[in-house]
Structure 1
Amino acid sequence: MIGDACSLPIRRVPTRAGAVGVIVAGQAGPRLPIVLIHGGGMDRAAIAWARLIGPLSADRMVVAPDLPGFGASLSLDPVGSAAAMADIVGDALDRVGVDRVIVAGVSMGGDVALNLALRSPDRVAGLVLVAPGGLAPRVRNPAVQLLAWAAAQLPDALLLPLVRWGNRHVGQLIRRMVADPATLPPGIAERFVREAARDQAGIAYLRYNQASLAPTHLRNDLSDRVGSIPAPTLFFHGANDRLVAPADSRRAAAQMPRARLVIVPDCGHLAQIEAQDRFRVELGLFLVEHRL
């Protein structure tokens, strides 16, 4: 077992992209609801937030959607960009009946959360960003950027077999994404492997990357806009993250008026899973500090 979230019921919530699967836990009350947005690849709400939905729902409503093309929404056509995914999250929140919320996102989900905060600033009362995407001007250097863009332009007849080949090696990839595989909860890597074995798995993340890549830069770079986000923000980033540079979070936090950055030593990309106890402490302090 990797956490109670795996057994929670999933609601089908209408959006402009179709009916997305959403975990809704806890009860509406005086505390603001928290929205949990999963990452890319083979992620889904019940993996990214498996051991956190239960504790968070003890005193507030938790809403954790699976974005189109992921998890319980795998059958839906992917929507591509983080901005389009933010609109889907907004639709789901409207249907669930929650307005002002705290939004937490990991990796690609952090990119979605940032877009939601920029597009609907009155809705987002607080942001929690775990190794967020959307804050880099390019992939490493100009040459690597150009190669990544060129690869993303290949036809599906070539790209989709590559996606399926990569899916067969997800277990190894997950263990390389963390600083110490021993920190992973039992069964978590196997859950990613099971997701990768599903038909159409990985295509939505491919479409996100295709939407983000340009020949010379990343189209989803929000680093010149985040300074306008008024919501208090917690950045939580593993110091040994090899997928999203901690420097991206450091630069963004320095520009934002109410941001705090936590860099976790001996921690990789899956920071909220690898350092779950530290994450819960920092999140709790953040919620208390800002009376959320």
Structure 2
Amino acid sequence: MSHAEIVVLIIVVILILLVLGNIIFQLIAERRHPPSGRFVECDGVRLHYIDRGETDAPCVVLFHGNGTMLQDLQISGLVDLLARGHRVLCFDRPGFGHSQRPRSRIWTATAQAALFANALQQLGIRNPAVLGHSWGTLVAIALALRSDYPIRGIVLASGYYFPNMRLDFWLMSGPAIPLFGDLIRYTVAPIISYLILPSLLRKLFSPRPVPAEFTNRFPVSLTLRPKQLRAAAEESAFLVPVAAQFEAQYPSIGCPVRLFHGAQDRLIEPAQSRRLQEVLDRSQLRLVENAGHMVTYADAERIAQAMAALR
């Protein structure tokens, strides 16, 4: 066997071991962090969600951002705050947490909104208020733009609404590329993601520290699974095109809109929310000082109050 053949063989063996290791890691992560809520199957997709509060109270629906899952909104305190006077449904969006994300569909914000509109109707939910954080704001907007499922208002936190040059998001989309992305996701991507995660979390929560409760309770291992890395990479790739698609449609939003943004957000500039507030007639904007991208932790009580006030 030549030297080149030995090198190729070693590389192949390493790749096989990495693939097997990541499959085992994914199984262990899901066993350590089993589903905490219920499931509803809609349009061939199994969605995981939690249902809190009184069933006959006004309903609010919560959508998390890219790369995370419903535990994020639980740890922030929003679920508990809203459950005092509402029925709260908080979903794992497709591909995150314990919700499925079939590869047969392109999961834009519009596609996700169609899925959730059907799921909510299936659950008997009518005229909810909807909150979206970060990428979840686009799903909330897509729901508000639908004519077949009325909602009483939306709260948008730390959203990206207008396209601009964001090379960082394109670079994060690599694991979504067919075949090449699959190889990356099942080999080195989980390792790289694990190494950069601490600095990413500091950036998201900056200028505040990462809360101890988040560190202790958030199931990090679920975010490092190859299938969730694919969902996160796809949404990084979709972010700018979806914002470009929606830009001309914002004036068509007929329900009240409440905007929240951290004044020191280092991921998505607060100017995004200022600009959206200017084009929406029925909107209000609150810029939260000493808060970054995770404004849901910095201003949870006011966000809950804004949702409760939607009529």
TM-score, length-scaled by structure 1: 0.82
From 204, 220, 223, give the equivalent of 2:243. Answer: 220
- Distance between the aligned counterparts of 2:108 and 2:239, measured in 1? 7
2:83 pairs with one of 51, 57, 63 = 57
1:281 aligns with 2:302: yes
User: Which residue of 2 is the match for residue 139 of structure 1?
Assistant: 165
Name 1:3's counterpart in structure 2: none
2:275 aligns with: 251
SS of 2:267 mapped into structure 1: coil
User: Does 2:287 match 1:266?
Assistant: no
| SS state at 2:142 partner | helix
Give the CA RMSD over aligned residues: 2.9
Q: SS at the partner of 1:19?
A: strand
Q: What's the offset of the Cα at 1:282? A: 4.4
- Quote the Cα distance in structure 1 between the aligned partners of 2:180 and 2:249: 37
Task: Say whether the 8 Å CA contact 1:8–1:23 is kept in structure 2.
Answer: no
* Secondary structure class of the residue paired with 1:124: coil
Match of 1:128 in 2: 155
2:109 maps to 1:82: yes
> Identity rate of aligned residues, in percent?
25
Within 1, Cα distance between the matches of 2:62 and 2:284? Answer: 19
- Offset of 1:54 from its aligned partner? 1.8
Aligned to 2:128: 101
DSSP 3-state at the match of 1:202: helix
CA displacement, residues 91-135 of structure 1 (integer Å, 9 cap, x when unaligned): 2211211011100000110011001111247521110001123x1
The residue aligned with 1:231 is 255
SS across alignment from 1:35: strand
Match of 2:92 among 44, 66, 79: 66
TM-score (norm 2): 0.77
Cα distance change on mapping 1:68 and 1:154 into 2, 3 Å: closer
Query: Are the equivalent residues in 2 in contact too, given 1:74–1:201 (CA < 8 A)?
Result: no
DSSP-derived class of the 2:61 partner: strand
SS at match of 1:182: coil
State the Cα distance separating 1:153 from its structure 2 match: 8.1
**2:16 alignment partner in structure 1:** none
State which structure, 1 or 2, has the greater radius of gyration over its C-alpha atoms.
2
Task: Quickly say closer, same or farther: Cα 1:79–1:24, change in 2 above 3 A.
Answer: farther
Q: Check whether the contact 2:258–2:306 (CA below 8 A) recurs between aligned residues.
A: no
CA contact (8 A) 2:175 2:189 kept: no
Q: In structure 2, how many angstroms separate the alpha carbons of the residues matched to 1:146 and 1:178?
A: 18
Distance in 1 of aligned mates of 2:276 and 2:249:
9
Counterparts of 2:92 and 2:51 in 1: how far apart (Å)?
11
AA aligned opposite 2:164: R
1:13 matches 2:21 = no
CA displacement at 1:38 relative to structure 2: 0.7
Which consecutive unaligned segments of at least 5 residues does structure 1 have?
A: 1-5
Pairs aligned (count) = 272
Indicate conservation of the 8 Å contact 1:36/1:104, yes or no.
Answer: yes
Deviation at 1:265, TM superposition (A): 1.2
2:229 aligns with 202
Give the deviation of 1:251 after TM superposition.
0.7
Are the counterparts in 2 of residues 117 and 123 from structure 1 also a CA contact under 8 Å?
Answer: yes
- C-alpha spacing 1:7/1:14, structure 2 compared with 1 (3 Å): closer
1:168-218 Cα distance to aligned partner (Å, 9 max, x none): 1223311122223535242447625222233422211212233445xxxx3
- Aligned partner of 1:118 in structure 2 is 145
Query: Do 2:96 and 2:228's aligned partners in 1 also have CA atoms closer than 8 Å?
Result: yes
Q: Which amino acid aligns with 2:261?
A: H
CA contact 2:51–2:87 (8 Å) conserved in 1: yes
Greater share of residues in helix? 2
Alignment of 1:45 onto 2:66: no
- Secondary structure at the counterpart of residue 24 of structure 1: strand
Map Cα deviations across residues 129-173 of structure 1 (whole Å, 9 max, x no partner): 01123x122234xxx499659968855425535642442122331
SS of 1:119 mapped into structure 2: coil
Structure 2 residue runs without a partner (length 5+): 1-32
| Residues in 1 aligned to 2:114 and 2:66: alpha-carbon distance in whole angstroms | 17
Q: Which SS does the other structure have where 1:164 is aligned?
A: helix
Whether contact under 8 Å (1:32, 1:61) holds in the other structure is: yes
Q: Is the 8 A contact 1:121 1:230 kept in 2?
A: no
Deviates more, 1:77-86 or 1:151-160: 151-160
- The aligned counterpart of 1:157 is 180
